[in-house]
Structure 1
Amino acid sequence: MIETMDAKKSLVIVLTNVVVLLLVGGATVVQACLPSERAALLEFRSKLNEPYIGVFNTWKGQDCCNGWYGVSCDPNTHRVSGITLRAESEDPIFQQAKRSGLMTGSISPAICKLTHLSGIIIADWQGISGVIPSCIANLLFMRHIDLVGNKISGVIPANIGKLHRLRVLNLADNQISGGIPSSITRLTSLSHLDLRNNYISGVIPRDMGRLKMLSRVLLSGNKISGQIPVSLTRIYRLADLELSMNRITGPIPASLGKMSVLATLNLEGNLISGPIPGTLMSSSISNLNLSGNLIAGRIPNTFGPRSYFTVLDLSNNRLQGPIPASITAASFIGHLDVSHNHLCGKIPTGSHFDHLEATSFAYNSCLCGKPLGNCKK
């Protein structure tokens, strides 16, 4: 009986030691990143040059998941999940970079070896050039791509539509050319699209309305042509639509004024023609900029209590007729500009107009009244 008890104790001790060894061994595995991912990060880093403040000084040692600046890992798998290098960060190290010098170089295709990468932010350095590696479309866990504020050229990868988890695509303020890939309409999780201030040409894909999660579409400052796709007006979450300073033609879809949450509509500096849809004057839009187009006809007489404009800019068009009397029924108008048109008649009076200067009404055919000269009797 004593021998049996001793045997059981020995077995328990052996099993306990095995469990401890397994736990220790497991901890060793999850404490260090994969050698292949460490090698990929170092290859990625070799294409970048930041000699002034040493952003990459911490990229040393065997464990790239521990203390490597800007590198984050999944706590469960310990695979590299994110790279965040943003020059506009509030972190003092990046504030110093703005004073001392900026990062240069290019984005190495080695980044595509990080197969579990869900986010890459290399933003506001102003000096990163080269192209976006086409293989980035193979990183199927990707949720966030932010390369804003650099000198990246080339095109948007044609197969970017493969990134079904992608929520943010920000390539603004670069030198990207070519068109918007048709595959972009397969990014059904996308909520933020920012391609402003590039050299993007061609048309907006007709079926952009498939992207039901979009809340911001920012395409200003490019060479985009064609008409505004009506399908955009079916994106019920869309709050900001900025298409200014492009080469867009055709009319303004009336259905834009029927969107429930659209707050900003900026179409400034295009070749848009036709009339202003009456729906825009009594919509949810509070920032409406239609200036610098070929819009003709009259300002719609459809203002009402729902009309709330922080900005209403209709300047530099071909509008005729009077400023409609219903504009006094609007609940608020902050900034109003109807200058450089062919408007005529008496400027309505009321609290909406008391703060406006003559420049808001200048260069029209025959507008009169405060703040311009008195109307002839």
Structure 2
Amino acid sequence: MMIMMGRSVVVVAALAFGGFLVAAVTGCPPSDKAALMALKSSLTEPYLRIFDSWTNSDCCSGWDGVHCDPANRRVSDISLRGDSEDPIFEKAGRTGLMSGSIHPSICNLDRLTTFVLADWKSISGEIPSCLTSLSYLRILDLVGNSLSGKIPPSIGNLRRLAVLNLADNQISGEIPASLTSLSELKHLDLSGNRLTGRIPNDLGSLKMLSRALMDRNQLSGPIPSSIGRLDRLADLDLSLNRLSGQIPETVGKMRVLSVLNLGGNQLTGEIPATVLSNGGLGIVNLSRNALEGKIPDVLGPKSYMMVLDLSYNNLVGDVPRSLSAAQYVGHVDLSHNHLCGHIPAGTPPFARLEAPSFSGNDCLCGGPLPSC
């Protein structure tokens, strides 16, 4: 049956089972619109005037950064970036600047799958704890703001979450233990905050994780050995923290790991031979720790080392000759250790390495340094 009401058409279909009625919705529900308007009221963006488009009656049509599920017209995606290639930024000739806070009304959008409010610099306040009730959420990206407070303790309730990016804020406290319940998580970026405490021991339970970035915090304690169970992890950055203890040998056995950055911590013990014999690792930065012992002489023809930085440690012994056996070695920094002996000469990469790569050692000589 079709009922004509002015310019609007409402199609009503009666189902044969039990007499239920289903209406074809042509606009977003009033509750979704109210939630968006409350979010808008808590934010100020004076230059690009993005929120000027949030005025017509249907928030599923023409509202910048808002998208709806075509099947039910519920708001499914809020994506507002303050630094992107969108024409609005090119026209303005500047990046975005937004202040204010995240209104808890966002939690009323219970079909939300993506919430991106990134790179606005001055959005402050805490992450609403009720965000963890959004069971459909897959992407939470709040990078590049001034958010403070703690990561919601119940973050692990977001069982569909694949991306969690809270980098470059002012978030403090510990990493919640529940985070390791995010079984679908692929991208974790908590870098550039004020996080303290230990990395959760069972981080290795996040089997889907491909990037784990927690650099530039105040994390302490050991590197969990469970990290070695992350078979899909390609990028691990724990640099510039206060981590102590030894580097787990299991880290060097990770099958797809290509970037390992543990620089600027308080790590001790020897460098596991598995780290330098892993042919997949292309960037290794262990600089500015308290590592000791000899550099494992285990590189081989499968080694493709774009960056090897072992500077500012307490390493002893010779420069490993197996560097010349590697398929490729780019930047090497072995400076400011206690290495001694003759630097191999004539063969790559030694023929092109310069003195700063070896300076500040006890008694290295030859090659780019004074002759023995």
5+ unaligned residues in a row in structure 2: which ranges?
A: 13-22
> Who is 2:157 aligned against?
162
SS class of match (2:56) = coil
Partner of 1:150: 145
Partner Cα separation in structure 2 for residue 19 and residue 355 of structure 1: 80
Give per-residue Cα distances to partners, 1:4-32, cap 9 Å, x unaligned.
xxxxxxxxxxxxxx2687x9424984220
Counterpart secondary structure, 2:10? helix
Q: Tell me how far apart the structure 2 counterparts of residues 152 and 72 of structure 1 sit (CA, whole Å).
A: 25
Distance 2:352 2:320 in 1: 18
In 2: Cα distance, 1:369 partner to 1:30 partner: 78
- Is residue 370 of structure 1 aligned with residue 355 of structure 2? no
Alignment of 1:229-244 (within 5 A): 229-244=224-239
Q: Tell me which of 302, 306, 309 is aligned to 2:305.
A: 309
Alignment deviations for residues 81-131 of structure 1 (CA, whole Å, 9 cap, x no partner): 011110111112234567376111110001001111111111111011111
Looking at structure 1, the residues matched to 52 and 224 of structure 2 have their Cα atoms a distance apart, in angstroms, of 48
Identical columns (%): 54
- Which one has the bigger helix percentage? 1
CA contact (8 A) 2:219 2:243 kept: yes
Residue 184 of structure 2 aligns with an amino acid whose one-letter code is S
Partner Cα separation in structure 2 for residue 334 and residue 198 of structure 1? 31
**Aligned mate of 2:334, from 325, 328, 338:** 338
1:299 aligned partner: 295
- How far did 1:325 drift? 1.9
Q: Does 1:359 align with 2:344?
A: no
CA radius of gyration, larger in = 1
Amino acid paired to 1:334: G
C-alpha contact 2:82 2:95 (8 A) present in aligned 1: no
1:133 has 2:128 as partner: yes
Structure 1 residues 215-254: aligned runs within 5 Å: 215-254=210-249
Structure 1 counterpart of 2:266, from 264, 268, 271: 271
Matches of 1:258 and 1:233, distance apart in 2:
7
Distance 2:51 2:44 in 1: 9
Structure 1: which amino acid aligns with 2:210? S
Asked whether the 8 Å contact 1:53–1:96 carries over to 2, the reply is no
Distance 1:361 1:141 in 2: 53
SS in structure 1 of the partner of residue 100 of structure 2: strand
1:88 to 77, 83, 87: 83
Instruction: Give yes or no for contact 2:82–2:96 (8 Å, CA) kept in 1.
Output: no
Q: How many Å separate the matches in 2 of 1:159 and 1:298?
A: 44
Q: TM-score, normalised by structure 1?
A: 0.92
- CA shift at 1:354, angstroms? 2.0
Mapped contact 1:87–1:95 kept (Cα < 8 A): no
Q: 1:52/1:248 Cα in 2 relative to 1: closer, same or farther (>3 Å)?
A: same
**Structure 1 residues 230, 101: CA separation in 2 closer, same or farther (over 3 Å shift)?**
closer
TM-superposition CA deviations, 1:344-369 (whole Å, max 9, x none): 00111212122211000000001111
CA-based RMSD: 1.7
1:82–1:148 distance in 2 versus 1, CA, 3 Å? same
How far apart are the structure 2 equivalents of 1:372 and 1:26?
84
Q: 2:257 aligns with which of 259, 262, 270?
A: 262
Contact 1:52-1:100 within 8 A present in 2 as well: no
Identify if the C-alpha distance between structure 1 residues 94 and 131 changes in structure 2 by more than 3 Å, giving closer, same or farther.
Answer: farther
SS of the aligned residue for 1:44 comes to: helix
Contact 1:89-1:95 at 8 Å conserved across structures: no
Is this contact kept in 2: 1:356–1:371, CA < 8 A?
Answer: yes
Q: Whole-Å Cα distance in 2 between the matches of residues 329 and 319 of structure 1?
A: 21
CA distance in 2, matches of 1:315, 1:65: 55
Gap runs ≥5 in structure 1? 1-17
- Give the match's secondary structure for 1:82: strand
Aligned residues: 358
CA contact (8 A) 2:2 2:11 kept: no
Q: Check whether the contact 1:169–1:193 (CA below 8 A) recurs between aligned residues.
A: yes
Q: Could you list the runs of 4 or more consecutive aligned residues of structure 1 that deviate by over 2 angstroms after TM superposition?
A: 26-30, 94-101
The 3-state SS of whatever aligns with 1:183 is: helix
Q: Note the alpha carbon deviations across 1:264-315, whole angstroms, 9 max, x for none.
A: 0000000000000111111021100000000000001111112210000000
Could you say what secondary structure the match of 1:140 adopts?
coil
